[in-house]
């Protein structure tokens, strides 16, 4: 197999997929060719570090032989069902990862499209729309969304049928490994003109009416440099409860541009928690559409950056129906020369009466050379609603630090305890607790 060296439409021939999927990819490629790489001159990228990103430093990944070496993160317990995706191409354990009609499908394995007869008739419209929305490109998609839709290889569909409820989480692990022994194929965050591989993880989760499910989504890599552009679609049907947690622990020289969008039907709930600890540059765009009466979304995020890491978060809470509710809490800390930026928008559409939305972003700045920006926004078209937003950027509370030191605690230890305490309430609110110990210890070891 010849490895493609550019991101033009000609590169699509190097990794064949079923024709129905190729049609989506061709459509995305056509729009991508007309869409320039973003720059810091664009408002949406003004606070970011897109200037240090060079697409020429990367290439679409080549295929690998599909083998499962049995690897699994030590921080996952044995009773959690696991689906493993190796280097964006090899998918393992789908047959053992669900019960009660749960389906985990690698859509690239379906030459004739999805077997819709296997989907509960009550969920058919929801599932079809979820797949179409996730794969179909449209004018106005961002550059990185189009890139991901063009070069997706293994789009996964996790379907939970109406009425089925599962308490134990299902984990999807995207593991990236540098299989080349040629060090010239590794790109550094300092901008050396070397060649790293690009990966485009894709996951759609659909919970039918009254279903209940918990999903862990883990992005992990070695220390080689990658371009990673994941897309996650979350669809909660009527009265469904969908809990989703993503842990991003890519190597510190990788570039990560993630997209997560949620759609919540009548009286449904999406409870989402994202944790960003890895990558040199990590940008995540998160949107939640509360489409029908009584829909609820909870968007929580924890980020921690050291060295010259950059964390960039963009959120959109879109209330389209009456009596909907959304809560957003993003908390982060930056140390050394690291930076973070948060930009969020609450939109209350006309007709979204008696809806409520809150948006909170708090940041700890742990060194003089670190920095954080926070830009909350409101767009309100309806009078009978409740909206609030709050943001804070600052150093550790000196009075609290002084109090701990007065009890005989060393200054550096006091700073560590305060920082860990800053995140504790967010960890306590996480929809799943399986990763909390790992997250806590990882931050503690970096302080």
Q: What is the pLDDT of residue 3?
A: 31
- What is each CA distance from 123 to 95, 104, 239, 270, 329, in whole angstroms? 21, 15, 13, 17, 31
Tokens of 91: 């998918």
Q: What are phi and psi of 418, to 5 degrees?
A: -65, -40
Q: How many CA atoms lie within 13 A of 22 on its CB side?
A: 14
Q: Would you say the C-alpha torsion 249, 250, 254, 259 has a positive or negative sign?
A: negative
**pTM across the whole model:** 0.92
Query: Which residue do the tokens 């991901």 mark?
Result: 148
Cβ neighbours around 140 below 10 Å, total: 9
Calpha distance 364→374 (Å, rounded): 12
Calpha distance 182→184 (Å, rounded): 5
Q: What is the DSSP secondary-structure string of 393-416? A: EE---HHHHHHHHHTT--HHHHHH
Q: What is the pLDDT of residue 48?
A: 79
Partnered with residue 248 across adjacent β-strands are 219, 276
Q: What is the pLDDT of residue 320?
A: 98
Tell me the mean pLDDT per 10 residues along the chain, length 447.
Answer: 52 79 93 90 83 86 66 84 84 61 87 82 94 94 95 94 93 85 42 72 97 96 94 98 98 96 98 97 97 98 97 97 98 97 97 97 96 94 95 92 89 92 96 95 95
Cβ neighbours around 362 below 10 Å, total: 19
Tokens of 384: 């009978």
What's the full length of the chain, in residues? 447
């Amino acid at each position: 197999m010849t490895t493609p060296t550019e991101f033009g439409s000609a590169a699509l021939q190097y990794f064949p997929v079923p024709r129905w999927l190729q049609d989506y990819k061709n459509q995305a490629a056509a729009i991508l060719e007309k869409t320039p790489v973003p720059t810091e001159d664009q408002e949406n990228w003004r606070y970011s570090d897109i200037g240090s990103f060079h697409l020429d430093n990367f290439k679409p990944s080549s295929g690998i032989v599909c083998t499962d070496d049995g690897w699994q993160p030590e921080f996952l317990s044995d009773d959690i069902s696991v689906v493993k995706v190796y280097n964006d191409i090899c998918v393992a354990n789908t047959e053992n990862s669900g019960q009660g009609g749960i389906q985990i499908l690698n859509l690239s394995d379906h030459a004739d499209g999805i077997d819709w007869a296997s989907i509960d008739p009550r969920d058919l419209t929801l599932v079809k729309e979820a797949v179409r929305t996730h794969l179909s490109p449209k004018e106005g998609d961002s550059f990185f969304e189009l890139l991901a839709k063009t070069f997706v290889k293994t789009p996964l569909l996790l379907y939970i049928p109406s009425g089925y409820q599962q308490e134990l989480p299902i984990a999807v692990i995207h593991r990236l490994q540098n299989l080349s022994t040629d060090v010239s194929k590794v790109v550094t965050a300092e901008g050396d003109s070397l060649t790293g591989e690009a990966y485009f993880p894709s996951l759609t989760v659909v919970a039918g009416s009254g279903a209940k499910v918990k999903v862990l989504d883990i992005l992990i890599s070695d220390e080689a440099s990658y371009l990673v552009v994941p897309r996650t679609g979350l669809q909660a049907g009527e009265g469904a409860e969908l809990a989703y947690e993503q842990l991003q622990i890519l190597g510190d020289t990788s570039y990560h541009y993630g997209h997560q969008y949620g759609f919540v039907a009548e009286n449904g709930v999406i409870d989402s928690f994202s944790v960003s600890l890895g990558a040199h540059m990590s940008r995540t765009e998160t949107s939640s559409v509360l489409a029908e009466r009584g829909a609820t979304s909870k968007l929580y995020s924890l980020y921690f950056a050291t060295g010259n890491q950059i964390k960039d978060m963009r959120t959109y809470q879109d209330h389209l129906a009456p009596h909907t509710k959304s809560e957003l809490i993003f908390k982060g800390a930056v140390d050394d020369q690291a930076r973070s930026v948060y930009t969020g928008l609450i939109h209350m559409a006309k007709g979204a009466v008696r809806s409520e939305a809150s948006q909170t972003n708090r940041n700890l700045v742990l060194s003089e050379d670190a920095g954080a920006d926070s830009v909350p926004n409101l767009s309100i078209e309806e009078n009978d609603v409740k909206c609030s937003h709050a943001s804070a950027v600052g150093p550790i509370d000196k009075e609290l630090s002084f109090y701990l030191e007065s009890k005989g605690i060393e200054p550096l230890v006091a700073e560590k305890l305060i920082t860990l305490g800053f995140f504790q309430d967010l960890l306590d609110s996480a929809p799943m607790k399986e990763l909390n110990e790992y997250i806590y210890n990882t931050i503690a070891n970096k302080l």
